[in-house]
Amino acid sequence: MQTEKVVTYTAVGIAGLVILIFLLDLAASIFGRNIAMDVLFILGGGVLLWQGIETIMELR
């Protein structure tokens, strides 16, 4: 596998993990009750996830 694909798949995986963690935090308040931080991390992870998927489609 090419290095670009490995980096892209890793970034998509990490972005998905960030989104999942902060969605769970938003629902259960594990790390505290900071809704703005949760929403911003979810949005940031979503942007990274979107860019990663676009890059994967471009590398095919």
Max CA-CA distance within the chain?
Answer: 42
Looking at residues 10-33, what average pLDDT do you find?
93
Residues near 55 by Cβ (< 8 Å), separated by ≥ 6? Answer: 8
CA 13 to chain CA mean position, Å = 7
pLDDT of residue 54: 97
**Which domain range does residue 36 map to?**
3-59
The pLDDT confidence band at residue 27, using thresholds 50, 70 and 90, is: very high
The average confidence (pLDDT) of the chain is: 94
Count of structural domains within the chain: 1
Residues near 23 by Cβ (< 8 Å), separated by ≥ 6? Answer: 38, 42
pLDDT of residue 12: 97
pLDDT one-digit tens code per residue, 30-47: 888 899 999 999 999 999
The pLDDT confidence band at residue 17, using thresholds 50, 70 and 90, is: very high
